[in-house]
Structure 1
Amino acid sequence: MSAPASLLAVFAHPDDEALRCGGTLALYAARGAQVHLICLTRGEAGRNTDPALGEVEIAPQRAQELKDACATLGIHPPIFLDYHDSGRGDRLRRDDPLATINADPTEMERRILEVIEATHPQIMLTFDPHGMYGHPDHLIAHRVATAAYASSGFRQVRVQRLFYTVQSREEMLRLQSGRPLGVLEGLEPETYAVCDCTIAARIDIRSQAARKRAALFSHRTQTGPLSTLGTLTEEQFAPLMHTETFSLGGIRSPVPEYPMNDLFAGLDVEFRPAALQGEPA
């Protein structure tokens, strides 16, 4: 009997889910997969880049923005693990015991495994080994998600495939041009991007472009007029609404072709109509 199609994404902060894989999450939810998202933190170290919001308490604001983004993408509400955003650079929170940089990674892994047991994903998504731009929390999310995937091989729920969100060299150079995406400033594409032969899957997300864009801009504190993300040119932005790319982090089943255009290709899964989502498997 086919298992219900299920996908689990693991990221660090509200908004991490949108830019690099929001279209993919929306696409599989629209097809009838159960799509869940783990967020390690509530983005406590973020800044409000939208003056129209006025004075806001950043953690609950960003948590609500993520809930709104998930609803826009058509996926399940986020699962917060309630670690703290570590910040980065001169704002690195070395003294916060709940910051992910200070948390026990094996405990994080155990908690992700609990979600795996509850949601039965065949597919997992998380950051690439460089965390897109080296944010400490992104690197930890990559580490603990990869560890949970590996450990699931000994568990009742064995995740079949792990994919990393990646950017090609061409994509990264485009985001560094004009008014550059600030977090990529000064970074070498040969380190933080991947060569084309590393891309294991290219997912056409044009049917979900409007949802992806709306979900991204649900994160108002991060995409306001004072942000570089929210003020990218259409030339920079448009390709992000066409295709999303992934490298392969792990695999336990054969694939019918490589590179892939469907993360679930070859798996014996059932995509259920949206009206049936949330029903017991």
Structure 2
Amino acid sequence: MTSQPQATLLAVFAHPDDEAFSVGGTLTHYARRGVRVVLACATRGEAGKITVPGMTVDDLGQQRERELRAACRALEIPEPVFLDYHDSGRYERTRFDDPLALMNVNPLDIETKIRALIADVQPQVIVTFDPHGGYGHVDHLQIHRAATAAFFSTGHLPGGGPQRLYYTALPHAAAQGLARMGQNLDPLVYGVSEGTVAVRMNVAPYAANKRAALIAHGTQTGEQSLLGQMTPEERAAMETRLLGTETFAIGGTRTPLPQYPLRGLFDGLPGLEDLDGERR
């Protein structure tokens, strides 16, 4: 008789700190429920912007790797897996000539790495960026495309491959809030309707974990970051959203949906129903 594989969630993102902002509370939630959480990070954020005035770092990639490992400890999840690509950067930091910059890599090559990781860890659930990459970063778009392709091309694996694919989802109201704070995005393009939100996770019980993870990414959350430049009122509103709720849309499924919206990411998956029920 074949034993049921361990419940496993694979989260695939581009840079250190992507996980803390969008899914940190959800990762802690499932880790505490006994789910094996695997965080794959495509780059080490080498071309990021240091947002702490006067701070100098000899090797930003190494520094951000350390920050991500600290964030994982704060979220109570295992060490991250790196796909060993380079951060493409943005604006004046864009690395057009770096062959390993994610923007310059063939998406099929990225998909191949993610497929190998899927075959190794055998996740039932994959979480990655939405089709707009949150706010349109080219690396986010590359990972969205490659992770989505890997989900669809691994259904032949033993056990039928991953059963669900979820995208991080930014509701219209949240996108409007970001636009008011100076983010150059159209809420009707980058935000989603309430009907698109398939899973709404209450992550308030893990607010301390998520806050600690954000703080761990010190080079990215300093005074010159979006968070650092907010007024106290804006920051309070942002923290209420970031630390209270995380939302997801369905990118693909190989099993019927028992209801809609779903109770959680594992809702209705055979043998794993208890993960999104009441604590026993």
Establish whether TM, by shorter chain, passes 0.5. Answer: yes
Counterpart residue number, 1:94: 96
Q: 1:164 aligns with which of 164, 167, 177?
A: 167
User: Which amino acid counterpart does residue 210 of structure 1 have in structure 2?
Assistant: A
Counterpart residue number, 1:41: 43
Counterpart residue number, 1:126: 128
Give the 3 Å change call, closer, same or farther, for CA 49–56 of structure 1 in structure 2.
farther
CA distance in 1, matches of 2:229, 2:211: 13
Q: 1:61 aligns with which of 56, 60, 63?
A: 63
Write the mapping of 1:254-273 to structure 2, written as runs, cut at 5 A.
254-267=256-269, 268-269=271-272
TM-score (norm 2): 0.90
Residue 52 of structure 1 deviates from its aligned partner by: 6.9
Q: Deviations over 1:204-223 (max 9, x none)?
A: 11111110111111100000
SS of 1:250's equivalent?
strand
Counterpart residue number, 2:119: 117
8 A contact 2:21–2:242 mirrored in 1 = yes
Q: For structure 2, which runs of at least 5 residues remain unmatched after alignment?
A: 276-280
Does 1:10 find its partner at 2:20? Answer: no
Tell me which moved more, 229-238 or 246-255: 229-238
Higher relative contact order (CA 8 A, sep 6+): 1
Q: 2:237 aligns with which of 235, 238, 245?
A: 235
Does 1:199 find its partner at 2:202? Answer: no
Residue 245 of structure 1 deviates from its aligned partner by: 0.4
SS of 1:248's equivalent?
strand
Counterpart residue number, 2:149: 147
Counterpart residue number, 2:214: 216
Give the 3 Å change call, closer, same or farther, for CA 47–68 of structure 1 in structure 2.
same
CA distance in 2, matches of 1:187, 1:230: 19
8 A contact 1:4–1:270 mirrored in 2 = no
CA distance in 1, matches of 2:156, 2:225: 44
Q: Deviations over 1:100-132 (max 9, x none)?
A: 111122121111111111111100000000001
TM-score (norm 1): 0.90
CA distance in 2, matches of 1:74, 1:119: 18
Counterpart residue number, 1:278: none
CA distance in 1, matches of 2:94, 2:56: 25
Residue 56 of structure 1 deviates from its aligned partner by: 3.9
User: Which amino acid counterpart does residue 7 of structure 2 have in structure 1?
Assistant: A
Write the mapping of 1:12-31 to structure 2, written as runs, cut at 5 A.
12-31=14-33
Q: Deviations over 1:39-85 (max 9, x none)?
A: 11000110211247543421100011011111111111111111111
SS of 2:212's equivalent?
helix
SS of 1:264's equivalent?
coil
8 A contact 2:266–2:273 mirrored in 1 = no
Aligned-pair identity (%): 49
SS of 2:51's equivalent?
coil
Counterpart residue number, 2:278: none
